[in-house]
Amino acid sequence: MQLGLIGLPQSGKTTVFNALTGANLPLNMSTGRVEVHTAVVKVPDPRVDALAERFGSRKRTYATVTYADVAGLSGKASGELPGALRNILQQMDAFVHVVRAFPNPNVPHPLGHVAPQRDVELLEQELLLHDLMTVERRLERLKEERQKGARPKEVIAREEALFQRLHQALSQDIPLRAIELSADEARLLRGFGLLTRKPMLLLLNLDDEGEPPEIVLPHPQRTKVAWLRGRLEMELAQMDPEDAAYFREEFGLTETGQARLIRLSYELLDRITFYTVGEKEARAWSLPRGSTALDAAAAIHTDMAKGFIRAEVIPFDELMRLGDWATARSQGKIRLEGKDYVIQDGDVLLIRFAG
């Protein structure tokens, strides 16, 4: 799962990238070219830790997300994103929009002064315009297809109705992430790389002190707002842990900003997490919401899916309350589920399969 850090030049994207990933990319490197740097990050998960401690697991494996530091958005909202940038943005599963909220006289804002609400709207305009053009092109194509009779009439009509709905929304500055779509419609749109369809985390990048500004969202669906003291967190991420802990206390930062944000961005992806646990390993697995026991088995190993017999399932909280698998089983708390069982977030699974 890939999260793209986007934002105006000098908003602190690379700083935030370094803070989140522990990387050490150079700052102030806006070359005007399209550039991407990626890093894979573990999603901190107290459930993995609790399971590992309870079961004495030797290894802990967390879910991961990939962050991509994407340079190149101008904030000019001209509508024509450079092709290379468009390709990169279309591949992302969600965006983290780094919004500059730090005053720094040494770092000029590309638009003259710091105004977070304006920057949020400006970048959204850029994404909206991109999608509007994509949708218009598609509507043109569908019209041609209708005239040629290339595909069955009903199929084209259904697609046209959907794209018209999208067009109407986009023309009113409504991002597509705020629109209700059926599963079929969502599937149909998947290949079009519509940027406002992707979930969005607005990350206010604050200075070492000061409160986060208020952001007004006319369409808050599938959007989260958070803040980070970007430069401070980057410096802490690059210190040795003891010194970092001392400074954290000084600045009143309890949980690491890094951990908090990684969790939040994982939640944005609307995935569910299930777990497997044994003496060897306690492990988190990430799946799209709505996945079945068979999908879970396939995620672990193809042989498990092929020879699937059943899944033994217990919710994390219940397992922790009862203490261990044997107790849970003797009390009849382990459910036996078939292939089609829809996995719930927090389920602990044991897959029985014929190997």
Which positions touch Mg ion (CB under 5 A)? 13-14
Which residue's CB is nearer to Mg ion, number 13 or number 198?
13
Q: Which of 231, 248, 271, 283 is close enough to bind ligand GDP by CB under 6 A?
A: 231
**How near is the Cβ of 106 to ligand GDP at its closest, in Å?**
7
Q: According to CB under 6 A, which one of 4, 116, 175, 230 is a site residue for ligand GDP?
A: 230
What is the smallest separation between the CB atom of 225 and ligand GDP, expressed in angstroms? 17
d(CA 267, CA 280) in angstroms, rounded, equals 27
13-21 vs 230-238: helix axis angle to the nearest 10? 40
Closest distance to ligand GDP from the beta carbon of 83 (Å): 21
The binding track of 155-184 with respect to ligand GDP, each residue x by CB under 6 A or -, is: ------------------------------
Chain positions 13 to 32 lying near ligand GDP, rule: CB under 6 A, are: 13-15, 27-28, 30
Q: What is the DSSP-derived secondary structure letter of residue 342?
A: B
What does the radius of gyration of the chain's CA atoms come to, in whole angstroms?
23
Binding region for ligand GDP (CB under 6 A) out of 149-157, 228-236, 307-315, 339-347: 228-236
Other beta carbons within 10 Å of 131: 21
Nearer to ligand GDP, 14 or 276 (CB): 14
Nearer to Mg ion, 14 or 57 (CB): 14
Q: Which strands form 223-228's sheet, in the order they lie side by side?
A: 35-42, 64-71, 2-6, 94-100, 200-205, 223-228
Considering the rule CB under 6 A, would residue 317 count as an interface residue with ligand GDP?
Answer: no
Q: By CB under 6 A, is residue 4 in contact with ligand GDP?
A: no
Per the structure block, which two tokens stand in for 19? 């803070």
CB-nearer residue toward Mg ion: 31 or 254: 31
d(CA 286, CA 64): 8
Is residue 11 a contact point for ligand GDP (CB under 6 A)?
yes
The torsion angles phi and psi of 296, rounded to 5 degrees, stand at -60, -45
Helical spans, DSSP H, in the chain: 13-21, 46-55, 83-91, 116-148, 153-171, 183-189, 230-238, 241-250, 257-268, 293-300, 302-306, 316-322, 325-330
| Binding site partner of 198, from ligand GDP, Mg ion, none, Cβ cut-off 5-8 A by kind | none
Residue 246: burial class (beta carbons within 10 Å; 0-12, 13-18, 19+): exposed
- Residue whose C-alpha is closest to residue 78's, from 123, 136, 30, 32: 123
Judged by CB under 6 A, which of 3, 4, 6, 7 binds ligand GDP?
A: 7
User: For residue 76, what are the contacts with CB-CB under 8 A and spacing of at least 6?
Assistant: 126
* 107 interacts with ligand GDP by CB under 6 A: yes
Contact in structure between 93 and 177 (CB atoms under 8 Å): no
Q: In the range 187-216, which residues lie near ligand GDP by CB under 6 A?
A: 205, 207
Q: Per-residue x/- mask for ligand GDP, residues 76 to 105, rule CB under 6 A?
A: --------------------------x-x-
Nearer to Mg ion, 13 or 231 (CB): 13
| Interaction between residue 238 and ligand GDP (CB under 6 A) | no
Residue ranges that bind ligand GDP, judged by CB under 6 A: 7, 9-15, 27-28, 30, 102, 104, 107, 205, 207, 229-231
